[in-house]
Amino acid sequence: MKQFKHMFLAQLKMTLREKQAWFWGIFFPVILMVIFMTIFGGSSNDEFSAKVTIVNENPNPTSDMLLSQIKQIPVLEMEADEPVSRKQAERMVKDQEINAAIVLPESVEATSILLVVNKEDEQGVTTQALSGMLNDFVQRANLSAAGAPPTFDLQFESITSADQELNYTDFLLTGMIALSIAQAGMFGMVDLVDMNRKGLIKRLRMTPANMNIFGFSDMVMRLLFSIVQIVLLSIIGVFVFGAKLYINFPSLLIVFILGALSFNALGYFFSSFSKTTEAYMGIANIVSFLMMFLSGIFIPVETIPDWIQPISNVLPLTYFVEGLRDSMVYSTSIFSSSLWLGIGILALWGIATFILGSLLYKRKSIVATR
C-alpha cells in the first residue's frame, strides 16, 4: 500500500509534467471538437429552417388546402406572404435568395408538388431535409385524401427529422470522447518504450519493488487521465455547444473501463515490438488515423462506402464509440444485449493484444538483456 501510494504519486507528478501528454490528450481533442462542432454542429443556427417561396399560379381547392397546411410547418420560412409567379420564384432560386421554391398543383386533378432548388444545392443538407419533409407531407396528404383520419402532428414529425442535424453535436461529442480515450491509450504506452530504452524497467527489476503494483498504479493514473478527458469534453460539449446527454452511469462505467483498458492493451502491444519511441509513434499514428475515419467518429459508419464497412465492423473503436453513444446519449441500460456484444468485441481486442504483447516482451527480454 505504501509502495502503491508513492508509485502513484510519482506517476501523477510525471503525468502533470509531461507537456506532450496534455497537448495530445486534452488540448488537441478539445480544439478538434471545437473546430468540428463550429463547422458542422452549427451553434449559430441551432434551429433548422429553410427559406422557401410558394408558387400557386392557378389557385384551386387542392392547392389552397396544401398551401394553408404548408404554411403551418414552422421550419419553413416564407420569403413572401403571398405566392409568387413561377418565373419570379425561379429567379430567386437562381440568385440563391431562397433555398427552394415549392410549386403547387395547377388544378384539382394534378397530383404532383414540385420542389425547385438550385443545382449547386442539389446534394445539400437543406435540400435533403426539405425533400424529406415534403415527401412525408405528401404521404400524409394522400392518406387523408384516401379518407384516413387527418393527422395534424405530421408537421411535428417533420421537425423531428430536422432535429437529426442538431443531434450531430451529441454524435460528435461522444465520438471525440471515444477518440481521445482511444488515443490516450494507444499513444500513452510510449512511456513504456521510453522506460525500456532507458533501462528503467531493468533498473526497477533489480530492486525489491513490486512490478505488479507499479503497473497497476500506472493503469489507475491512465484511467484518471481519461476521466479528465470525458468530463472536460462533456462540459464543453454540453455548455458551449448545447449537446444533450442522457447518461446511464453503470453502462458508461463499464464501457469506459473496458474501452480504456483495451486501448491501453493495444498500445502495450505496439510497444512490445517498437525499439524506439519514433517507431512506436509511427505505428500509433497510422492506426489511430485509420480508425479515426473508419469508426464513425466524425461521420456515421452507415454513410461510408459499403466495401469499407466490413473493415469498420472489426475495428475496436467502432464498438467503443457505439458503446459510449449508447450509454451517454441513448441511456442504454446495462442489461442490453447489443451493448454487451459491442463491448465484448472491444474486450476481445484488449485481451488478444495484451497476450500478444506479453509474449513478445517475454521473447525480447531474453535477447535484449545482452
Partner 1 sequence: MTILEVMNLKKSFGSVQAVEDVSFSVKAGEIFTIIGPNGAGKTTSLEMIEGLVPPDAGEIRFGELNWNQDANKIKKMIGVQPQSSALFDLLTPEENLNLFATFYDHARSTEEILELINLGDHRRQQVKKLSGGQRQRLAIGLAMISDPDIIFLDEPTTGLDPQARRNIWDIILQLKELGKTTILTTHYMEEAEQLSDRVCIIDQGKIVTIDSPSSLIEQLTKERAVRLSFLDGHEAAKEVQHFMETLDSVVRNEVDGTSLTLWTAHPEDTLYTLFGFTKEKNYQVEQVSIREMSLEDVFIEFTGKEWRD
CB-neighbour burial class of residue 226 (10 A; exposed 0-12, middle 13-18, buried 19+): buried
- Residue with cell string 492506426: 287
Query: Would you count residue 200 as binding partner 1 (CB under 8 A)?
Result: yes
Query: Would you count residue 363 as binding partner 1 (CB under 8 A)?
Result: no
Query: Would you count residue 94 as binding partner 1 (CB under 8 A)?
Result: no
> Cβ 15 to partner 1, closest distance in Å?
9
Site string for partner 1, 151-190 (x = CB under 8 A): ----------------------------------------
> Cβ 366 to partner 1, closest distance in Å?
8
Q: Which is nearer to partner 1, 146 or 367 (CB)?
A: 367
Helix ranges (H only) for the chain are 2-17, 19-22, 28-36, 61-70, 86-94, 125-145, 154-166, 168-188, 190-198, 200-205, 211-235, 241, 249-272, 277-294, 309-312, 316-328, 337-368
Among 61, 208, 305, 310, binds partner 1 (CB under 8 A): 208
> Cβ 222 to partner 1, closest distance in Å?
16
Q: Which is nearer to partner 1, 158 or 217 (CB)?
A: 217
Beta 76-78 vs 114-117: how paired, if at all? unpaired
Query: Would you count residue 211 as binding partner 1 (CB under 8 A)?
Result: no
Q: Which is nearer to partner 1, 12 or 138 (CB)?
A: 12
Q: Which is nearer to partner 1, 160 or 207 (CB)?
A: 207
C-alpha distance from residue 170 to each of 49, 56, 163, 256, 314 (Å): 20, 40, 12, 17, 24
Cell numbers at 100, concatenated: 427552394
Of 200, 114, 195, 172, the closest CA to residue 298 belongs to 172
> Cβ 370 to partner 1, closest distance in Å?
5
Q: Which stretch binds partner 1 (CB under 8 A): 10-18, 107-115, 181-189, 266-274?
A: 10-18
Cell numbers at 39, concatenated: 463547422
Query: Would you count residue 206 as binding partner 1 (CB under 8 A)?
Result: yes
Q: Is 101 helix (H, G, I), strand (E, B) or coil?
A: strand
Query: Would you count residue 20 as binding partner 1 (CB under 8 A)?
Result: no
> Cβ 280 to partner 1, closest distance in Å?
17
Q: Which stretch binds partner 1 (CB under 8 A): 9-17, 91-99, 174-182, 282-290?
A: 9-17
Query: Would you count residue 10 as binding partner 1 (CB under 8 A)?
Result: yes
Q: Which stretch binds partner 1 (CB under 8 A): 62-70, 207-215, 260-268, 311-319?
A: 207-215
Pair 247, 38: CB distance under 8 Å: no
Q: One-letter amino acid identity for 347?
A: A
> Cβ 344 to partner 1, closest distance in Å?
37
Cell numbers at 214, concatenated: 507499479
Of 159, 154, 162, the closest CA to residue 69 belongs to 154
Q: One-letter amino acid identity for 257?
A: I
Of 303, 349, 309, the closest CA to residue 171 belongs to 303
Pair 206, 2: CB distance under 8 Å: no
Query: Would you count residue 18 as binding partner 1 (CB under 8 A)?
Result: yes
Query: Would you count residue 119 as binding partner 1 (CB under 8 A)?
Result: no
> Cβ 206 to partner 1, closest distance in Å?
5
> Cβ 77 to partner 1, closest distance in Å?
57
- Report the interface residues with partner 1, using CB under 8 A: 2-3, 6-7, 10, 13-14, 17-18, 198-200, 202-203, 205-209, 366-367, 369-370
